[in-house]
């Protein structure tokens, strides 16, 4: 059994925020893979299903971001899970929009949701870091993560969600490389190898447009009359 946690804030006000991209990822997985209905449990919403034969519990903490660890800790104790059984999906300022990375353990880098989870279960859990980009200055971070994704960002956001869903079964069996490859195939598909270039025209055998074939084959003709040739002979 695994516990997958999506970080975000509860309420319609925050639903489309960049900070809620972890919730969005879990919603997409649940919808695409036939998970059960969401129900209230562990100070959050829970949906159950299976991927690649592995039972997966999806959890969206509803304690607000900076208390996410309370819900995660409660669920982990109930199911008797270790940090190695837990994967957290969260927004990542230090990744370009649409990029995804997977890691295990490490610091929280100032992310309040991760900070809270560290306090309740330690740092040795798995993370799926979902890039949202950086506003450019630390003073703008709070407003940036709590703002909605712009309309211009919807295409890459949808591609990212599709990729996460495509690779979910691989992530469930612990193959993060194949999971990230599935994401990349959606967010950065390979270019076509076919070329529309026409072959270069070989002009080496083409005749010159001004040259006449007979000009090169015949010597210059003597235009003198027979009398002129005789007179020139005795000069």
Give pLDDT tens digits for 48-95.
999 989 999 999 999 999 999 999 999 999 999 999 999 999 999 999
pLDDT at residue 149 tops 60: yes
pLDDT of residue 194: 52
Give the model's pLDDT for residue 204. 42
Give the integer Cα–Cα distance in Å for 145 and 135. Answer: 9
Q: Is the pLDDT of residue 192 over 70?
A: no
Q: Which residue in 91, 51, 86 sits closest to 69, CA to CA?
A: 86
Q: Once rounded to an integer, what is the mean pLDDT over residues 103-125?
A: 95
Number of other residues whose CB lies within 10 A of the CB of residue 63: 19
Phi, psi (5° rounding) for residue 28? -65, -40
- How far is residue 167 CA from its own chain's centroid? 12
Return the DSSP state at 17. Answer: B
Distance CA 169, CA 53 (A): 9
Q: Is 19 a catalytic residue?
A: yes
Q: Which candidate in 19, 90, 111, 118 is catalytic?
A: 19
Task: With cut-offs at 50, 70 and 90, classify the pLDDT of residue 209.
Answer: very low
**Pairing state of beta strands 44-51 and 54-61?**
antiparallel
Residue 184 to residue 100: CA distance in whole angstroms: 8
Domain 2-187's class? alpha beta
Residues paired with residue 44 on neighbouring β-strands, in sequence order: 41, 61
| Pairing of β 126-131 and β 100-104 | antiparallel
Q: Tell me what the mean pLDDT of segment 2-27 comes to.
A: 97
Q: What pLDDT score does 190 carry?
A: 79
64 touches 10 (CB < 8 A) = yes
**What was the pLDDT predicted at 99?**
96
Domain spans of the chain?
A: 2-187
- Average pLDDT across the chain, whole number: 88
Nearest to 55 by CA among 78, 85, 31, 32: 85
Answer yes or no: is pLDDT of 196 > 50: no
Q: Which of 111-115, 118-122, 205-209 has the least mean pLDDT?
A: 205-209
* Model confidence at 234: pLDDT above 60: no
Residue-by-residue DSSP string for 134-201: --SSGGGHHHHHTSBPPGGGHHHHHHHHHHHHHHHHHHHTT-HHHHHHHHHHHHSPPPP----PPPPP
- The model's confidence at residue 193, banded by pLDDT at 50, 70 and 90, is low
How far is Cα 63 from Cα 74, in angstroms, rounded to an integer? Answer: 12
pLDDT band at 191 (very low <50, low <70, confident <90, very high): confident
Q: What does the pLDDT read at residue 15?
A: 96
Whether the pLDDT of residue 233 is over 80: the answer is no
Say yes or no to pLDDT of 123 above 80.
yes
> How many angstroms separate the CA atoms of 121 and 70, rounded?
9
Whole-prediction pTM value?
0.80
């Amino acid at each position: 059994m695994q516990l997958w946690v999506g970080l975000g804030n509860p309420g319609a006000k925050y639903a489309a925020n960049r900070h809620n991209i972890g919730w969005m990822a879990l919603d997409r997985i649940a919808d695409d893979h036939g998970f059960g209905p969401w129900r209230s449990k562990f100070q959050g919403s829970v949906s159950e299903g299976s991927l690649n034969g592995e039972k997966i519990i999806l959890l969206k903490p509803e304690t607000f971001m900076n208390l996410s660890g309370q819900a995660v800790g409660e669920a982990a104790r109930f199911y008797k899970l270790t940090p190695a059984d837990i994967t957290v999906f969260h927004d990542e300022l230090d990744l370009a929009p649409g990029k995804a990375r997977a890691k295990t353990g490490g610091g929280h880098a100032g992310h309040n949701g991760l900070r809270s989870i560290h306090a309740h279960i330690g740092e040795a859990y798995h993370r799926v870091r979902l890039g949202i980009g950086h506003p450019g200055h630390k003073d703008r971070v709070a407003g940036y993560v709590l703002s909605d994704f712009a309309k211009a960002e919807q295409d890459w956001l949808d591609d990212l969600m599709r990729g996460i869903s495509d690779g979910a079964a691989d992530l469930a069996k612990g193959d993060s490389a194949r999971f990230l490859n599935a994401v990349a195939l959606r967010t950065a598909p390979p270019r076509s190898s076919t070329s529309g270039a026409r072959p270069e025209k070989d002009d080496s055998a083409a005749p010159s447009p001004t040259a006449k074939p007979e000009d090169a084959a015949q010597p210059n003709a003597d235009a003198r009359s027979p009398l002129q040739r005789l007179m020139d002979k005795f000069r």
